[in-house]
A and B are shown apart, each in its own frame.
Chain A
Amino acid sequence: MVFEKIREIIAEQTGKDIEEITLETNVKEDLDADSLDLFQIINDIEDEFEVSVENPEAIVTVKDAVDFVESHK
């Protein structure tokens, strides 16, 4: 499932508990991630789902990432 996999990627990169990450989570603000953490999360999502994120700024919440992957894979 896309959400579960993205949760794992974000937890791994930010070092947060997986339970802390919900669809509503704002990656930068709620998880204390900086722009480079977000780069790496997006890179890992691109590799995992074989998609290409042209506009990374549009991905703010976990839901944004899940929606992007579901509409592009």
Chain B
Amino acid sequence: MIRTRVIATAASVPEQIITNDDLARIVDTSDEWISQRTGIKERRISSGENTSVFVSDVAKQLMEKAEVTADSIDLIIVASVTPDYGTPSLACMVQKEIGASNAVAFDVVAACSGFIFALSIADKYIRSSGYENAIIIGGETLSKVIDWSDRSTCVLFGDGAGGAYLEKAQDGGILFEEIGSDGKMYEILTAGYTACSNVFNENPAGVDPLWYAHMDGREVFKFATKNVIKSLNKVMEENNITQEDIKYFIPHQANVRIVEVISKKLDIPFEKFYMNIERFGNTSSASIPIALSELDEKGLLERGDQIILTGFGGGMTWGTMLITW
């Protein structure tokens, strides 16, 4: 059976580290408050580099690690809610940067579930359309859609990118997915609204307050815990596996407290959830691939291990994927 296998992973984050103490100097907050409620200690924030810089760096690292040439790349998909432009897509910018002239390149928008949605699309291309490989990246510079005077949101997010190089294989790889959307709830988590302003408007708009990330914390918390629990249960039940068969769960890094609830309610030891939120904050579509790349880099995954990626976020969207490494 044709499968899609992860061959290499990579991450690229800004050099600039912003600690909780740094934030306490610009808004009324504290290291204790942020750590206790989110698990975040520091995050990487761009010094001006836009998203294309980080996603292009990830693509270059992936090609190097997988030892493939640019002209052999068939597909490039980037997931992001903070691209450099409306058009071109980040994927086309990556294509230019690495010289992958034979690839099809486009972006997807599914916020924090974006990397899983992009993997899902690539899996279909590879399994049914004759594509041999793909570069899949999640990347963000969320710092440009953050209101840095709003202490309820500015402490949560970070910038960076992560990705995976995939190839057609005969077994293993992506085994099962469960993805979904619930658009009727979209208003509980938004960012990047641009009003329709044109020369024929009577009242042309300036920057709308909804440009900045806006979140109904309690509703998002509730959505995340309920949907991830349901989605993880479904994936494990339909594949006749239990948490004991899974080496690592790699959840979207939004808030350590969300993961604690999931761990407790599903009776999965917390140590099985790979967490790095304390160093990166919530990087939306980049969070799962950055975590995956760390696991891989540290040598914590062996071929044949089963892992589960699970994401949830704006849209609202969610996605869970069972992968044999």
Q: Count of B residues near A, CB < 8 Å?
A: 9
**Cβ of B37 and Cβ of A36 under 8 Å apart?**
yes
**Cβ of B261 and Cβ of A35 under 8 Å apart?**
no
Q: Which residues does chain A contribute within 8 Å of B257, judged by CB atoms?
A: 36
**Cβ of B37 and Cβ of A43 under 8 Å apart?**
no
Which residues between 5 and 29 of chain A lie within 8 Å of chain B, taking CB atoms?
none
B222 at the interface (CB under 8 A from A): yes
Interface residues on A, range: under 10
**Cβ of B36 and Cβ of A39 under 8 Å apart?**
no
**Cβ of B218 and Cβ of A56 under 8 Å apart?**
yes
B225 at the interface (CB under 8 A from A): yes
Q: Which residues does chain A contribute within 8 Å of B217, judged by CB atoms?
A: 35, 39
State the CA gap A39–B220 with chains docked (Å): 11
Q: Which residues does chain B contribute within 8 Å of A56, judged by CB atoms?
A: 218
State the CA gap A42–B217 with chains docked (Å): 14
State the CA gap A35–B34 with chains docked (Å): 12
Q: Which residues does chain B contribute within 8 Å of A35, judged by CB atoms?
A: 37, 217
A34 at the interface (CB under 8 A from B): yes
Binding site for A on B (CB under 8 A): 36-37, 217-218, 221-222, 225, 257, 261
Query: Shortest 4 CB-CB distances between A and B: which pairs?
Result: A39-B218, A36-B257, A39-B221, A43-B222
Offer 15 A-B interface pairs, CB within 8 angstroms, sorted by A: A34-B36, A34-B37, A35-B37, A35-B217, A36-B37, A36-B221, A36-B257, A39-B217, A39-B221, A39-B222, A40-B221, A40-B261, A43-B222, A43-B225, A56-B218
